[in-house]
Amino acid sequence: MYWRLAVTSIRAQMQYKASFIMLSGAQFFSTGIEIAGIWALFTRFGRLEYWNVAEVCFFYGTVNVAFSIADALATGFDQFGNLYVKTGNFDRLLLRPRSVLLQLMGHELALRRIGRFLQGLAVLGWAAHTLGLHMDLWRVMLFVVTIAGSVCFFMGLFIMGATICFWSTESLELMNTLTYGGVQSAQYPFSIYEAWFRKFFTFVVPLACISYFPVVAILGVDDPLGTSRVFQVMAPGTGLLFLWLMVVIFKWAGVRHYTSTGS
């Protein structure tokens, strides 16, 4: 069912080919300017503590690829407050014989996010090539799991943002901070950050669990923070857990909101 919604969305966007190319191109550049900064800093300083430029680029590429996928899927949740709650259209979603979540995900498959995706992929490709990473089955699987866990995590954040809209459409600033700020911080390996920052993003909002630890395992290096390989490989699972939790809360909040507003 989702596949049909996705295809429809893609066809609709492809009607405006020129606009799509332009928006994607613009996003390619606007998300890619960070690389100019990374290049400059590494040329001057040589290393970022434990890490070299190719390793940092691997972190960078992974999180950008994952986030762009989640961003493309989650437009329905992103716009949830404005499109569905404020207008009362949420009731219409509930009346349809399909799950609300499915409908929101089918809202749009925003292909223009491909700008960030391509940029991340290019950086990732360069990094993997420079590091001479041998892409054996184990590594590929770990990479897929990492991306999957990351996508789940970011989807969870977007759903959390939509849930907040049941109460107020004004308090979305925090969500922006967590999503865009999260991506920004995850572009660099978490070992460089202060302890309080790392702890928050490992145990409260598991950003490091889906962006830092698994990539350490993929890179095949020792974690300067001292975690075991087992932990690193299992860490993307927290992304799935986080998503499940957010879905549960969303459903509970939706029922509460519906019964309290009535019609």
Partner 1 sequence: MRGYWSVVSARYRALLQYRAAAFAGFTTQVFWGLIMVMVMLAFYRLGSGRQPMSLAQVVSYIWLGQALLGMLPWNVDREIQDLIRQGSVSYELVRPLDLYNFWFSRTIAFRTATTTLRSVPMVIFAMFLLPTLGAPRWALMIPPNAQAVFGFLLSLFCALMLACAITMLMHVVMVKTISGDGLNRIMPSFVTVLSGMVVPLPLFPDWIQPFLNAQPFRGLVDVPFRIYTGNIVSTDILLNLLSQVGWALAFVALGRWLLNRSIRHLVVQGG
Q: Say whether 238 sits in a helix, a strand or coil.
A: helix
* Residues 7 to 26 in contact with partner 1, rule: CB under 8 A: 19, 22-23, 25-26
The Cα–Cα gap between 93 and 104 comes to 9
In the bound state with partner 1, the residue whose beta carbon lies nearer, of 180 and 252, is 180
Q: Report residue 119 as tokens.
A: 């940029």
Q: In the chain, what's the furthest Cα-to-Cα distance?
A: 63
Closest separation in Å from C-beta 112 to partner 1: 11
Query: Considering the rule CB under 8 A, would residue 197 count as an interface residue with partner 1?
Result: yes
The Cα–Cα gap between 234 and 4 comes to 33
# residues contacting partner 1 (CB under 8 A): 34
Within 13 A of 196's CA, how many CA atoms are on the CB side? Answer: 0
Query: Considering the rule CB under 8 A, would residue 204 count as an interface residue with partner 1?
Result: no
Choose one: 128-136, 173-181, 235-243, 248-256; the region binding partner 1 (CB under 8 A): 173-181
* Residue window 43-62: x/- pattern of binding to partner 1, with contact defined by CB under 8 A: xxx-xxx-------------
Work out the number of other CB atoms within 10 angstroms of the CB of residue 90. Answer: 21
Alpha-helical (H) ranges within 87-200 are: 90-95, 100-105, 114-131, 137-164, 173-176, 182-186, 195-199
Choose one: 99-107, 191-199, 218-226, 252-260; the region binding partner 1 (CB under 8 A): 191-199
Report whether 243 contacts 156 (CB < 8 A).
yes
**Interaction site with partner 1 (CB under 8 A):** 19, 22-23, 25-26, 29-30, 32-34, 36-37, 40-41, 43-45, 47-49, 170, 173-174, 176-177, 180-181, 184-185, 188, 192-194, 197
